[in-house]
Amino acid sequence: MEYRSRNIHVGTRLNEAEHKKLMELCQRTGLGTTRLLRKLITDTELKAKPTPELRELLRAVDRIGNNLNQLAHRANAIGLIDQAEWDRVKTLHRELREEVSRWR
């Protein structure tokens, strides 16, 4: 039984400048060398590692979403909110999350 889907090992040699560039990319993206190289090979867009401030902002937006969800369930249970209004709130939250994520 094969346990790994990636069973081909590729080794390469780099000069100092190439190695420095690779390490800078790893630092900027927060990826390890193997994962970074896979993304480069597959033409996946490299994104900068989120700053601590952005990570905290994303967590705050997620907490807001959790609070909205709890409030909506309670409001729905006693008939204060209808499905259309709740769908609108969820859409606004999703749009906010997407907008914040684009700041990366």
Give the residue with greater pLDDT, 66 vs 15: 15
Pair 36, 26: CB distance under 8 Å:
yes
Q: Is the pLDDT of residue 14 over 90?
A: yes
User: How far is it, in rounded angstroms, from Cα 66 to Cα 59?
Assistant: 10
Summarised one tens digit per residue, pLDDT across range 17-57 is 999 999 999 998 889 999 999 999 998 888 878 788 888 88
Domain boundaries, the chain: 11-49, 52-101
Nearest to 39 by CA among 19, 22, 58: 22
Summarised one tens digit per residue, pLDDT across range 52-71 is 888 888 888 888 888 888 88
* Residue 1 confidence class, pLDDT cut points 50, 70, 90: very low
Pair 47, 104: CB distance under 8 Å:
yes
